């Protein structure tokens, strides 16, 4: 989300939005979509997407991995950040498995059916053990899922469950989820943290300590958590009785080291102190590739960098002004300066990678037929004049988080000034910036702020559902009845190809009306040291047991 990350297709809870904002800060601070890339303006580095690195030669005793931050929690109900989920994905598993290519396949649910428009039935896999050796049962699934509905838990994934009427065990190995209304997005979310299964006995025993450094977790993944040294590291150990031979861990141990400082992370990777890490700061890519310590790979991402229009009562309430500002921006220049050139200009709020199962015609409508907004200062200035907005002021809110924040804020203010608007940059603390995504009062007086918003399910409706009238993450309170009707209809359509046709209509409306201003997309980056191989570069590392595939080079 996000940061911000989006919640599926429903209202985001306050807790969810707070987590989303935190992720946005983390993402940008680490340079995944920002950071000084060391590229001259106008230059474009050469890079290509890699879906899978070389197959390992065999197992390895252990390897180390660096994370920009310590997980705030490994409780699946609160795991809503890169630092949390990159660890949790290897320890806990979900009913479905979100693969590196963003397809969904059976996970702890061997299969599922959709017998009525308002029910989902999951056949729970037999022969699966938790890390403590106890067998996983249908009751464990029911208890794990019901936690998201418990106000006392305050799940960050409540939005996924908001249309759930009941969750019941309906057979020895069967769980039925009954909805209050048709909701295709619920099942699509079962490949992430919202679908994780934990031991019911462990949840009861651990209580409020569940998921923290003292309580730990007891799941079914290819690794178990053996040690959590607060402020320092988390160590995972290969689970010998893991149920899926295809993903049995190739390493006996993985140690995650927490390093908040960008230079410290880069130095640890260059020196070989650490074997790998996700989200490589752009300024370090060339250094790492020339260090001889390993290589940076570029993988599939689902994030789009956007300017959130958070005040439609000011000058940006006029569509002509929103279009003018986007036309005034040198978006490629921003990519070069803020992300080292690693990215592409986009006019959509989603990436093609999440349009899984979409029809060709839908993809054409969604991407090929979008209105472009090439830089044209003369035309943009005229739009501002026609709107009677010349001399009017907009406030851009930013925070001292990273070079990319500075680049984007300065570029936006300069673009606004160049077409006759007055622009004020208001700098707030990182914590206050996080509040923009959770507290409407924090957005008072703000016209624009930046987000890098990724999707965590293989469906673009996750993006457009949050822009419906009244949704929590519709920060500018944008409202379009036609858009709402299209999205609401799409959510009820089971067939992904047919659903994509309606979603493409929603994307075209967003492209035309610009509730948020799309800037760019960029790849997910990962560094793989010379001792190891087997990583799948993809943002799916947040939910897929990626560490299990890594072994000796």
Could you state, in order of their start, the residue ranges of all structural domains in the chain?
97-204, 304-521
Burial class of 61 by CB neighbour count within 10 A (0 to 12, 13 to 18, 19+): exposed
> Which of 86, 87, 105, 85 lies closest to 95 in space, CA to CA?
105
What are 194's two structure tokens?
A: 């919202």
Residues 6 or more apart from 93 whose CB is under 8 A from it? 107, 108, 196, 197, 219, 220, 221, 545
* Identical fold between 97-204 and 304-521: no
Three-state secondary structure call for residue 172: coil
- Considering the domain delimited by 97-204, tell me its CATH architecture: Alpha-Beta Complex (3.90)
Give the residues across from 166 on adjacent strands: 178
**Sorting pLDDT into bands at 50, 70 and 90, what band is 136?**
very high
* Arithmetic mean of pLDDT, 143-169: 93
In this predicted structure, the answer to whether residue 107 has a pLDDT above a threshold of 90 is yes
Q: Using an 8 Å Cβ cutoff, are 483 and 55 in contact?
A: no
**Sorting pLDDT into bands at 50, 70 and 90, what band is 439?**
confident
Which has the minimum average pLDDT: 23-32, 99-108, 238-247, 325-334? 23-32
What DSSP designation does 240 have?
A: T
CATH 3.40.190.10 fits 304-521, yes or no: no
Q: Furthest-apart CA pair in the chain: how many Å?
A: 70
What DSSP designation does 251 have?
A: B
What are 550's two structure tokens?
A: 């890594």
* Arithmetic mean of pLDDT, 98-106: 95
Q: What is the rounded CA–CA span in Å between residue 340 and residue 402?
A: 13
Better pLDDT: 260 or 461: 461
Q: Using an 8 Å Cβ cutoff, are 512 and 67 in contact?
A: no
Three-state secondary structure call for residue 163: coil
On average, the pLDDT of the chain sits at: 90
What DSSP designation does 157 have?
A: T
* Arithmetic mean of pLDDT, 77-97: 93
Q: What is the rounded CA–CA span in Å between residue 446 and residue 207?
A: 40
Length of the chain in residues, anyone? 553
In this predicted structure, the answer to whether residue 22 has a pLDDT above a threshold of 60 is no
Q: What is the rounded CA–CA span in Å between residue 534 and residue 553?
A: 8
E strands, 213-340, are: 223-229, 233-238, 253-258, 276-278, 294-299, 304-309
What b/e readout covers 305-324, taking b as 16+ CB neighbours within 10 angstroms?
bbbbbbbbebbbbbebbbbb
**Sorting pLDDT into bands at 50, 70 and 90, what band is 282?**
confident
* pLDDT score, position 1: 39
Q: What is the rounded CA–CA span in Å between residue 29 and residue 27?
A: 6
**Percent residues over pLDDT 90 in the chain:** 80
In this predicted structure, the answer to whether residue 19 has a pLDDT above a threshold of 70 is no
* pLDDT score, position 455: 87
> Which of 107, 106, 109, 94 lies closest to 174 in space, CA to CA?
109
Order of strands across the sheet that contains 524-529: 223-229, 233-238, 253-258, 63-67, 276-278, 524-529, 294-299
Residues 6 or more apart from 393 whose CB is under 8 A from it? 315, 421, 422, 423, 424
Q: What is the rounded CA–CA span in Å between residue 99 and residue 406?
A: 35
**Sorting pLDDT into bands at 50, 70 and 90, what band is 43?**
low
* pLDDT score, position 432: 83
Give the model confidence (pLDDT) of 472-500 as tens digits: 789 999 999 999 999 999 999 999 999 99
Residues 6 or more apart from 547 whose CB is under 8 A from it? 65, 89, 90, 222, 223, 236, 249, 251, 254
**Sorting pLDDT into bands at 50, 70 and 90, what band is 375?**
very high
* pLDDT score, position 29: 33
Rounded to the nearest 5 percent, the helix, strand and coil shares of the chain are 35, 20, 45
* pLDDT score, position 11: 28
* pLDDT score, position 30: 33
**Sorting pLDDT into bands at 50, 70 and 90, what band is 79?**
confident
* DSSP string over 327-342: HH--HHHHHHHHHTT-
Q: What is the pTM of this model?
A: 0.84
Give the residues across from 344 on adjacent strands: 521
**Sorting pLDDT into bands at 50, 70 and 90, what band is 435?**
confident
Better pLDDT: 114 or 434: 114
* pLDDT score, position 413: 98
Which has the minimum average pLDDT: 4-8, 84-88, 455-459, 540-544? 4-8
> Which of 367, 348, 347, 360 lies closest to 496 in space, CA to CA?
360
Chain centroid to Cα 454, Å, comes to: 4
Which has the minimum average pLDDT: 163-167, 452-456, 521-525? 452-456
* pLDDT score, position 500: 98
* Arithmetic mean of pLDDT, 71-90: 91
* pLDDT score, position 4: 34
Order of strands across the sheet that contains 422-427: 344-345, 516-521, 304-309, 448-453, 393-398, 422-427
What DSSP designation does 368 have?
A: I
**Sorting pLDDT into bands at 50, 70 and 90, what band is 28?**
very low
What are 142's two structure tokens?
A: 């029911």
**Sorting pLDDT into bands at 50, 70 and 90, what band is 222?**
very high
In this predicted structure, the answer to whether residue 31 has a pLDDT above a threshold of 50 is no
Residues 6 or more apart from 261 whose CB is under 8 A from it? none
Q: What is the rounded CA–CA span in Å between residue 132 and residue 124?
A: 19
> Which of 401, 298, 307, 403 lies closest to 346 in space, CA to CA?
307
Residues 6 or more apart from 56 whose CB is under 8 A from it? 250, 532, 533, 534, 549, 550, 551, 552, 553
Angle between helices 319-328 and 403-418 (to 10 degrees): 120
* Arithmetic mean of pLDDT, 234-263: 96
Which has the minimum average pLDDT: 5-9, 239-243, 284-288? 5-9
Q: What is the rounded CA–CA span in Å between residue 277 and residue 166?
A: 40
**Percent residues over pLDDT 70 in the chain:** 92
């Amino acid at each position: 989300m996000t940061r911000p990350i989006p919640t599926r297709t429903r209202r985001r809870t306050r807790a969810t939005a707070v987590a989303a904002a935190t992720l946005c800060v983390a993402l940008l601070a680490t340079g995944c979509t920002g950071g000084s890339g060391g590229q001259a303006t106008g230059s474009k580095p050469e890079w290509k997407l890699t879906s899978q690195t070389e197959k390992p030669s065999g197992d390895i005793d252990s390897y180390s991995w660096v994370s920009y931050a310590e997980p705030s929690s490994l409780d699946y109900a609160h795991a809503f950040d890169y630092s949390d989920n990159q660890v949790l994905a290897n320890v806990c598993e979900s009913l479905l498995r979100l693969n590196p290519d963003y397809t969904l396949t059976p996970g702890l649910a061997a299969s599922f059916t959709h017998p009525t428009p308002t029910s989902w039935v999951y056949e729970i896999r037999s022969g699966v053990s938790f890390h403590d050796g106890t067998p996983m049962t249908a009751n464990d699934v029911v208890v794990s899922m019901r936690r998201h509905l418990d106000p006392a838990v305050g799940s960050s994934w409540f939005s996924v469950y908001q249309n759930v009427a009941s969750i019941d065990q309906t057979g020895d190995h069967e769980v039925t989820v009954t909805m209050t209304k048709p909701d295709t997005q619920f099942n699509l979310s079962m490949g992430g943290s919202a679908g994780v299964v934990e031991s019911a006995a462990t949840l009861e025993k651990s209580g409020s300590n569940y998921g923290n450094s003292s309580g730990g977790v007891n799941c079914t993944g290819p690794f178990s958590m053996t040690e959590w040294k607060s402020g320092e590291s988390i160590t995972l150990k290969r689970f010998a009785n893991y149920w899926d031979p295809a993903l049995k861990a190739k390493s006996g141990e993985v140690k995650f080291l927490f390093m908040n400082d960008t230079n410290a992370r880069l130095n640890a990777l260059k020196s070989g102190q650490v074997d790998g890490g996700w989200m490589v700061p752009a300024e370090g890519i060339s250094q790492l590739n020339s260090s001889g310590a390993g290589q940076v790979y570029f993988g599939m991402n689902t994030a789009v960098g956007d300017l959130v229009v958070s005040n439609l009562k000011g000058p940006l309430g006029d569509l002509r002004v929103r279009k003018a500002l986007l036309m005034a921006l040198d978006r490629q220049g921003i990519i070069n300066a803020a992300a080292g050139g690693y990215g592409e200009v986009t006019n959509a709020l989603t990436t093609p990678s999440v349009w899984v199962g979409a029809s060709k015609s839908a993809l054409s409508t969604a991407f090929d037929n979008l209105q472009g907004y090439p830089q044209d200062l003369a035309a943009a200035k005229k739009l501002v004049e026609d709107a009677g907005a010349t001399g009017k002021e907009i406030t851009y809110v930013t925070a001292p988080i990273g070079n990319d924040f500075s680049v984007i804020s300065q570029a936006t203010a300069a673009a606004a000034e160049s077409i006759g608007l007055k622009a004020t940059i208001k700098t707030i603390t990182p914590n206050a910036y996080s509040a923009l995504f959770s507290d409407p009062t924090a957005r008072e007086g703000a016209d624009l702020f930046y987000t890098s918003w990724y999707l965590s399910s293989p469906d673009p409706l996750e993006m457009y559902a949050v822009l419906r009238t009244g949704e929590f993450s519709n920060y500018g309170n944008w409202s379009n009845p036609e858009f709402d009707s299209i999205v609401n209809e799409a959510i009820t359509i089971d067939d992904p190809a047919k659903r994509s046709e309606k979603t493409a209509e929603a994307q075209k409306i967003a492209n035309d009306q610009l509730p948020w201003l799309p800037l760019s997309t960029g790849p997910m980056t990962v560094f793989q040291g010379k001792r190891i191989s087997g990583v799948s570069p993809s943002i799916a590392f947040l939910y897929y047991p990626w560490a299990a595939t890594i072994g000796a080079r």
